[in-house]
């Protein structure tokens, strides 16, 4: 069994993907071009933002967003403590200071209460300027944006939505990657919408930021690539990746999103009460980048992981370490003395196989094994 079965996905859309790749190779236009612009216009239409700007990966997307806002040394950027490293790495790359915020135990997303507490800590500290809240749509479920935007308005902060795992999620009818002043996503192969290499995108309604990001992506270009008005990056989505994504996006919205939710509902049906299953809040819709259960203890987690592996069922531990524990951030961040929920989760979480092509009998088999171990 595969954790995320990309081979099975390919086999269902092989002809279209092969011909899309072939077309790019035959035209020998490997960077930018109509495939990239068509993809951007499809994605911005789907997300509901005025602009979509593709780039080389989801980490660059975050860096480009912060750079377009001029985030720099002396600025404080609030980041959930339980997420992938990139969500905070981008802050340090810009020279600013990441401020770690605890998460909610049931949704894994940033805790609005602890966020306000940390904002006040920084204001009272008087050393850093609070600038940005980075909210992550962890494992596919959007963060609590109504609460986040209230704080953003109260303290005059910008909101950056890290939707690397959230593409395809929703709150009511509002689609993920439309919740931030700027939002970003990743097309890394294992993300909800993945390409065949690295890729990323940035979404916004703001004309000035969009123009700034378009420039920063291509060496800070002015009128063209050889007229440079600021120090930028080289961060573009390959044309081949754009061609692959156009095919994959079609099936993503046609049935994959629905199907992966069906898989999650099978887990809910077959896993018994001995394990804590992920909670999707009312009116929230997840794109299920991961299906993460919370075990009773570290030992139970390790036992389930090992027993499943013996049966050929792969699992992953997203995440074993909270950001405040990462060596890279020691002395380069601001942390609270206590991250109760992040610490609780790093000891107990376990992500199970999930993808749109997982079968009901496979979910039943995985669930049965877990039920046996935990009861």
Ligand X SMILES: *Cc1c(COP(=O)(O)O)cnc(C)c1O
Instruction: Calculate the alpha carbon distances from 273 to 243, 268, 277, 336, 346 in Å.
Output: 44, 10, 9, 33, 21
State which of residues 108, 145, 188, 339 lies at the interface with ligand X (CB under 6 A). 188
State which of residues 59, 109, 246, 315 lies at the interface with ligand X (CB under 6 A). 59
| Per-residue tokens: 140 | 């596919």
By CB under 6 A, what part of segment 224-263 binds ligand X? none
Least CB distance to ligand X at residue 126 (A): 30
User: Can residue 168 be called a binding residue for ligand X (CB under 6 A)?
Assistant: no
Helix (H) or strand (E) holding 298: helix 298-310
| Nearest residue to 191 via CA among 259, 289, 271, 86 | 289
According to DSSP, the β-strands at 170-171 and 284-285 are antiparallel
Q: With CB under 6 A as the contact rule, which of the stretches 51-59, 229-237, 255-263, 280-288 interacts with ligand X? A: 51-59
Least CB distance to ligand X at residue 359 (A): 26
Complex with ligand X: residue 136 or 244, whichever CB lies closer:
136
Least CB distance to ligand X at residue 118 (A): 19
Question: 113-135 as b/e, with b when 16 or more CB fall inside 10 Å?
Answer: ebbbebbeebeeeeebebbbbbb
User: Can residue 198 be called a binding residue for ligand X (CB under 6 A)?
Assistant: yes
Complex with ligand X: residue 98 or 363, whichever CB lies closer:
98
Spatial separation of the C-alpha atoms in residues 223 and 233, rounded to whole Å:
16
Least CB distance to ligand X at residue 348 (A): 20
State which of residues 81, 104, 162, 181 lies at the interface with ligand X (CB under 6 A). 162
Q: How many residues bind ligand X (CB under 6 A)?
A: 15
Looking up tokens 């002395």 gives 331
User: Can residue 186 be called a binding residue for ligand X (CB under 6 A)?
Assistant: yes
Q: With CB under 6 A as the contact rule, which of the stretches 52-60, 66-74, 123-131, 280-288 interacts with ligand X? A: 52-60
Contacts of 19 (CB under 8 A, 6+ apart): none
Least CB distance to ligand X at residue 138 (A): 7
Complex with ligand X: residue 10 or 85, whichever CB lies closer:
85
User: Can residue 49 be called a binding residue for ligand X (CB under 6 A)?
Assistant: no
| Per-residue tokens: 263 | 């898989």
Contacts of 172 (CB under 8 A, 6+ apart): 283
User: Can residue 164 be called a binding residue for ligand X (CB under 6 A)?
Assistant: yes
| Nearest residue to 236 via CA among 192, 199, 202, 280 | 199
Least CB distance to ligand X at residue 373 (A): 28
Least CB distance to ligand X at residue 87 (A): 5
Under DSSP, the state recorded for 254 is I
User: Can residue 57 be called a binding residue for ligand X (CB under 6 A)?
Assistant: yes
Q: With CB under 6 A as the contact rule, which of the stretches 119-127, 161-169, 201-209, 365-373 interacts with ligand X? A: 161-169
Complex with ligand X: residue 51 or 84, whichever CB lies closer:
84
User: Can residue 286 be called a binding residue for ligand X (CB under 6 A)?
Assistant: no
State which of residues 122, 136, 322, 342 lies at the interface with ligand X (CB under 6 A). 136
- For the chain, counts of helices (H) and of strands (E): 12, 12
Which value, in Å, is the radius of gyration of the alpha carbons in the chain? Answer: 21
State which of residues 82, 84, 266, 284 lies at the interface with ligand X (CB under 6 A). 84
Complex with ligand X: residue 69 or 266, whichever CB lies closer:
69
User: Can residue 200 be called a binding residue for ligand X (CB under 6 A)?
Assistant: yes
Q: With CB under 6 A as the contact rule, which of the stretches 57-65, 152-160, 266-274, 305-313 interacts with ligand X? A: 57-65
Q: Which residue is nearest to ligand X (CB)?
A: 58
Spatial separation of the C-alpha atoms in residues 323 and 27, rounded to whole Å:
44
| Nearest residue to 366 via CA among 355, 356, 357, 353 | 353
**Number of residues in the chain:** 375
| Per-residue tokens: 352 | 């199970």
Question: 84-108 as b/e, with b when 16 or more CB fall inside 10 Å?
Answer: bebbbbbbebbebbbbbbbbbbebb
Would you tell me which residues interact with ligand X (CB under 6 A)?
57-59, 83-84, 86-87, 136, 162, 164-165, 186, 188, 198, 200
């Amino acid at each position: 069994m595969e954790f995320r079965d990309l081979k099975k996905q390919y086999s269902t859309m092989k002809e279209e993907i092969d011909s899309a790749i072939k077309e790019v190779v035959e035209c020998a236009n490997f960077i930018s071009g109509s495939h990239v612009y068509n993809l951007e216009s499809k994605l911005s239409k789907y997300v509901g933002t005025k602009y979509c700007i593709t780039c080389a990966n989801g980490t660059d997307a975050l860096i480009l967003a912060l750079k377009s806002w001029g985030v720099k040394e002396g600025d404080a950027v609030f980041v959930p403590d339980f997420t992938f490293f990139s969500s905070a790495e981008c802050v340090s790359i810009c020279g600013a200071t990441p401020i770690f915020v605890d998460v909610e135990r049931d949704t894994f997303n940033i805790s609005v209460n602890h966020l306000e507490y940390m904002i006040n800590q920084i204001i009272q500290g008087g050393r850093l300027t609070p600038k940005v809240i980075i909210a992550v749509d962890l494992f596919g479920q959007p963060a609590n944006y109504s609460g986040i935007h209230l704080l953003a308005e109260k303290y005059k902060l910008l909101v950056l939505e890290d939707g690397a795992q959230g593409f395809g999620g929703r709150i009511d009818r509002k689609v993920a990657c439309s919740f931030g002043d700027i939002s970003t996503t990743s097309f890394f192969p294992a993300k909800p919408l993945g390409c065949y290499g690295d890729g990323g995108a940035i979404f916004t309604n703001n004309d000035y930021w969009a123009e700034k990001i378009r420039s920063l992506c291509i060496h800070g270009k002015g009128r063209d690539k050889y007229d440079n008005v600021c120090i930028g990056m080289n961060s573009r989505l390959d044309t081949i990746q754009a061609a692959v994504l156009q095919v994959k996006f079609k099936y993503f919205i046609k049935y994959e999103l629905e199907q992966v939710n069906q898989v999650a509902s099978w887990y809910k049906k077959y896993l018994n009460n001995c394990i804590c299953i992920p909670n999707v809040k009312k009116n929230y819709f997840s794109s299920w980048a991961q299906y993460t259960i919370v075990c009773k203890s570290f030992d139970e987690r390790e036992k389930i992981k090992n027993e499943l592996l013996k049966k050929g069922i792969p699992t992953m531990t997203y995440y074993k370490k909270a950001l405040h524990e990462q060596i890279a951030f020691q002395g380069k961040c601001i942390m609270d003395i206590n991250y109760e929920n992040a610490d609780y989760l790093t000891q107990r979480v376990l992500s199970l196989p999930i993808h749109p092509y997982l079968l009901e009998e496979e979910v039943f088999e995985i669930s049965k094994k877990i039920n046996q171990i935990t009861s």
